[in-house]
Amino acid sequence: MALFLSLLVISKKKKKSHDYILSIWLLLISLHILIFYLQEIAFELPIEWFVVNATFPLLQGVFLYLYTGILLQKIQVTSILALHFLPFLIFAILGPKFGEILLNPLIICVVISGIVYITLTFGMLGRFDSFYKRNNHWLKILTSGLAIVWAVFILSGMLNHLFDYSLVKHEYIFLSVNIFVFAIGFFGLKQGLILQEPQLKSKYSSSPLGIEDFKKIKNRLDILATSTQFYLNSELKISDLASQLNIPTHHLSQYFSAFLDTSYYDYINGLRIDEFKQRIVKNELDTLSLLGLALECGFNSKATFNRAFKKVHGQTPTEYLNSLK
């Protein structure tokens, strides 16, 4: 299954850096599974090669992190990324020489690697700004799936260590890996992210603006939001924001609708809510009322603030504050 998906990804006509990452990742998963089953069913591999095969889990978190970062354009493709593969290379090279001696430190490194990279990836998704919403859903499935595989790995290792080494068989770990690969295939094909490039909504299919144009608007918006905090102006209209960006209003409208799959008001209210949450951390509620702080963050009424906050978080601002106590 993993090999089949790898071939599907690499067969795409317009491949991007993240496609190559995903294809290599799936190829290595298929190789890892193949070696395991050959050892379990047909062949008795030397302990040294068992150790080498056991180094493959060191790659899973790395590939997840790189795939997510490159797809979301949070990570630039540079030679320094090769450093993420250094632990794998060290154990893979030393495995045939030292064999079983490396098993315990390898297992510790695998557990640490999984926890670190899954945490980093979830953190990246937490700062996600609605850029390609379906990619966000896809990446959350990948990250959650790998987190489950790691949980199975850690739990089985603990049970085997505490009670009996053969209490939880390796087959359960690889069953979770196979389910993970199946999820990649099912959701990736369903959402068109394995075979196709993300497409703009048909409403703007005839628009002269392309993906790169929308990305430029995104970058300019991010810079402007940081430098001027335009969202704090409760009277700001989309035409005012377009003027600050020096682009036509209808281009900015298309950016929100086609690229972010949202509206101007939902976008700007999201920035205001983020500002509100940051000011809570700074204890500004000690000197301002809830409504006062909301007004400081750009909202023009209590009703608008409550409605926007509940739309984003599924709870009222008061409920949110109570959950923090």
Domains of the chain, residue spans: 2-190, 203-324
**pLDDT at residue 254 in the model:** 87
Triad 218, 219, 225: Cα angle to 5°: 85
Whether the pLDDT of residue 286 is over 70: the answer is: yes
**pLDDT at residue 168 in the model:** 46
Whether the pLDDT of residue 267 is over 80: the answer is: yes
Asked if 61 and 38 touch (Cβ cutoff 8 Å), the reply is no
What dihedral angle (degrees, nearest 10) is formed by the CA atoms of 220, 130, 26, 188?
A: -130
- SS3 state of residue 154: helix
What is the C-alpha separation between 37 and 32, in angstroms, rounded? 9
**pLDDT at residue 125 in the model:** 74
Residue whose token pair is 């001696």: 101
Instruction: Name which residue leads in pLDDT, 156 or 121.
Output: 121
What dihedral angle (degrees, nearest 10) is formed by the CA atoms of 107, 109, 115, 120?
A: -150
Element (H, E) at 170: helix 170-190
Instruction: Name which residue leads in pLDDT, 125 or 287.
Output: 287
Average pLDDT, the chain: 76
**pLDDT at residue 77 in the model:** 77
The architecture in CATH of the region 203-324 reads Orthogonal Bundle (1.10)
% of the chain surpassing 70 pLDDT: 64
Instruction: Name which residue leads in pLDDT, 43 or 237.
Output: 237
Spell out the residues 6+ positions from residue 136 whose beta carbon is closer than 8 angstroms to its own. 125, 128, 130
- SS3 state of residue 43: coil
